[in-house]
Chain A
């Protein structure tokens, strides 16, 4: 048996988590995840918020999401070690080997590049999967619906173009 939660239970609990985050009993704000990246970049490269206005803009959201992220890392680590028992150091995802190639260098180079642009894209749009999809669409925000449509389209086109349609046996 694979130890995991069914999609419907995870969906229900995720909705409750989003509602708790929004509520005055929780954090009284939307749930989001991509603002912590420029916030941490500012800390790691010791950029002064006086010189870079964007750091001032993300000061509060970045700190909030930074603390949230520490919780997410802890939750993910504990669950992967004790519950799903899937913790292991790995470089190559099974799906990459199956639908792209078996070169570690290729995977790492693409990881770096896509990680770089993932954040540029999220910050341009003012949010990511958590901020726009989960929190934004739950508020029926038009901005999030535009983002959602564009992301779905470019995600699926990339899936078609970037990966092989026939699987290699792993």
Chain B
């Protein structure tokens, strides 16, 4: 039964028009390589950012968002992509965001970096992921309750839509500001034992 449902995961992906199973797997693989190679899957990078002792995560994240925002806008204009913004659900965003930030600072991972961290042998993160599975279970079972907290959708607004007629310029400024922010954040680093051993070599 469970085996059928896992197989069903692959059929679902191949029946959808969101990339073949191979393409989706490769997107994940490249993501895993980038996260591992840049070492932002480490506790010292994410919890270190929460303590303001390590700035690699915000530097990388702001640079990636800045570049992607400009690139994506022009890709959408050219018809090679489309926007899929998430709805503004104030209760969900504020309460969920607060819980998410607290948990991220304590676990030192997010749902994307966690698995990559497990792949390099971190058992504490595996325990965190088991906790996460139970979180997913509780959310699924008590969805009616959580839905009330999330509140009504106030629409899927984007910042550029407020600048009718100046979309190009506004997205360009948005992207450039984020890129500048990523450069001016001073570089601070925390290392873990595995890295320190390599430093001594």
| Chain B residues near A24 (CB-CB < 8 A) | 80-81
| Chain B residues near A28 (CB-CB < 8 A) | 17-19, 81-82
Q: Within the complex, what minimum Cβ distance (angstroms) separates B114 from chain A?
A: 8
Q: Is A102 an interface residue (CB 8 A)?
A: no
* A contact patch SS: helix
Greatest chain A CB density within 10 A among B1, B40, B125, B131 is at: B131
Nearest to A117 among chain B residues (CB) is B103
Contact flags A19-54 to B (C-beta < 8 A → 1, else 0): 111111111111101101111111111110000111
Whether the Cβ atoms of A142 and B29 lie closer than 8 Å is no
Interface size of B by CB at 8 A reads: 142
Whether the Cβ atoms of A41 and B133 lie closer than 8 Å is yes
Interface residues on A, range: 35 or more
User: Which of these, B1, B10, B193, contacts A94 with CB under 8 Å?
Assistant: B193
The number of residue pairs between A and B whose CB atoms lie closer than 8 Å in the complex comes to 534
Q: Is B176 an interface residue (CB 8 A)?
A: no
Complex Cα distance, B76 from A123, in Å, reads: 27
| Chain A residues near B111 (CB-CB < 8 A) | 33-34, 36-37, 118-119, 122, 128-130
Q: A27-B23, A55-B140, A160-B51 are in contact. Are A140 and B160 (CB under 8 A)?
A: yes
Q: Within the complex, what minimum Cβ distance (angstroms) separates A55 from chain B?
A: 6
